[in-house]
Structure 1
């Protein structure tokens, strides 16, 4: 697997430097010089081409959500994970709506941050389990066209639909593999393929689309 280039964007210099030093010990992560503000973050994203950006919501006078939106506009392939002290569900929903694929508290371990970075690079993501249900509910409530998405789902193979149904059921990759009698690597491949076909950035977005199209936990095609 190719090393993952990671850009940390945080105006708390000591925190950013400590996190960068810890993540740099991971053999598969290449940690770029941290950025403390929007201007520096956008400049480094353009010149250093990170695959994953770890971004705080507050950057001094700058809004991390605005930086997120500008990053996604200029670099559609970049994967953004929010790492912040904030925990308001509304802010999480806004971040997901603007293209973030993960949300982590600064109190989480560096080991979890590294795992989420790897997941993000593979078109996965992370939302804290204790708020995931509420985030999903609000994303669904904000949908202007409930019941849409059937045409996109029609592009999936039967196996990809099975994997998506397992995701809607809340199963982990290991649990999906066990239910379907597949290897974890095969489940990952199916997940990556279905996300690409749906033009989704994260599993949460795919689950939201599936539920808008009528899929529900505990149901089978």
Structure 2
């Protein structure tokens, strides 16, 4: 009897202007059986070209680089390859460049000093369609995303269009749960969660999970963190 074919590994492109950082990330990722590094780049110009040739699933993108920064590279990659997920790498958890990259279409951001399991988990989460967001920066995101959110009035009215299950998924999204965590909490499969997430985004007019999280906080679906 033929054994079932294993799933293809997640293809990752590393983008950072410091060679030692790229090497460190490569060593961490290549130790994981489900991850494969398909290339690296030292700036945004190289990154845009590398995406065309290496065909990554996920890009780990530094934001502060010479020639072309990660913000502009993110814009170009998202425009040309909307299926590619980008996780921004930053040294500061309130980096304006990182927030701007989220506005440009990145799936989230990660601090460069993150633990190896956080790095690999972020890649898997982004590849699976989850947003990679640190809860402590949600308030700052509320300020940064104000002009890019769907109309709050319209979205508030559309909340009534959500089914009970979709509302549960929306609240779970706002709490920062991944698809796997939502599935475990609601006792449904991860594929079912993905279907619900897609319907929630469509009904609320949100571009992606990042905007759905921010919208949930602005509408008061989940309480904001106290000062």
| TM-score over 0.5 (shorter chain) | yes
Counterpart-to-counterpart distance in 2, 1:43 and 1:155: 42
RMSD: 2.9
- Which among 45, 49, 61 is matched to residue 55 of structure 2? 49
In structure 2, runs of 5+ residues without a counterpart are 1-6
Correspondence list, 1:196-211, <5 A? 197=202, 200-202=207-209, 204-210=210-216
Q: Normalized against structure 2, the TM-score is what?
A: 0.79
SS in 2 for 1:77: coil
- Decide whether aligned partners of structure 1 residues 178 and 68 sit closer, same or farther in structure 2, where only a CA change above 3 A counts: closer
Map 1:97-116 → 2, pairs under 5 A: 97-116=103-122
Would you say the 8 A contact 2:216–2:222 is kept in 1?
no
| Partner in structure 2 of residue 172 of structure 1 | 177
TM-score where L is the length of structure 1: 0.81
Per-residue CA distance 1:94-135 (angstroms, 9 max, x = gap): 121111111111111121011000000011021222212321
Q: How does 1:17-36 map to 2 (within 5 A)?
A: 17-36=23-42
- 148-157 vs 94-103, which moves further: 148-157
Residue ranges of structure 1 left out of the alignment (5+ in a row)? none
Matches within 5 A, 1:35-184: 35-140=41-146, 143=149, 145-149=151-155, 157-168=163-174, 170=175, 172-173=177-178, 176-177=182-183, 180=186, 182-183=187-188
CA 57–191 in structure 1, closer or farther in 2 if over 3 Å, else same: farther
What is the distance in 2 between the residues matched to 1:37 and 1:92?
Answer: 15
Q: How many residues align?
A: 214
Q: Distance in 2 between matches of 1:129 and 1:93?
A: 14
Which residue number in structure 1 is paired with residue 194 of structure 2? 189
Q: Aligned partners of 2:104, 2:40: CA distance in 1, in Å?
A: 22
Q: Helix, strand or coil for the counterpart of 1:149?
A: helix
Query: 1:215 and 1:44 mapped to 2: Cα distance?
Result: 41
